[in-house]
Amino acid sequence: MSDKVMHVGDADFDAAVLQSSEPVLVDFWAPWCGPCKMIAPALDVIAEEYAGKAKIVKVNVDENQATAMKYHVRSIPMLLVFKNGQVQATQIGAVGKPQIAQLIDKAL
């Protein structure tokens, strides 16, 4: 896994995501989720490519249910792009790297 991908939870979500100066792509995932594992390599690559422009953050829904509930995460993987503390884009389900990059590009 890329060292550019941050794992955040209920406690540090606001500081890491909502107060970020750059756009943040949040991947709501769980260890038992097959499609979540499928998109993980693409997220690692994107984290490297967008370093300094955008952040990639993962939230384990099993361990951080308050945050998952706050954003109405009902199926995973669910990707949310935040900019200035607001949700800019939502993608539910496993998609390829181009679609993920496109989500971030819209927020840049």
Which CATH number is 82's domain given? 3.40.30.10
Of the residues 5, 8, 17, 36, only one is catalytic, namely 36
Specify the pTM: 0.96
| Options 33, 46, 54, 103, the catalytic residue | 33
Rg of the chain in Å (alpha carbons): 12
Instruction: Return the pLDDT at 60.
Output: 98
Domain tally for the chain? 1
The DSSP output letter for 65 is H
pLDDT in tens, 55-87: 999 999 999 999 999 999 999 999 999 999 999
Q: For residue 16, give both structure tokens.
A: 């890491």
3-state secondary structure of 50: coil
Distance CA 96, CA 77 (A): 12
pLDDT, the chain, mean: 96
| pLDDT (average), residues 75-101 | 97
Would you call 29 helix, strand, or coil by DSSP?
A: strand
Cis amide leading into 77 (omega within 30): yes
| 84 vs 88: CA distance, rounded Å | 9
Which pLDDT value is given to residue 2? 64
Q: 33 catalytic, yes or no?
A: yes
Which ranges in 12-64 belong to alpha helices (H)? 13, 34-49
Q: Is 36 a catalytic residue?
A: yes
Name the residue range of residue 42's domain.
5-107
- Record the tokens describing residue 95, joined without a space: 């998609």
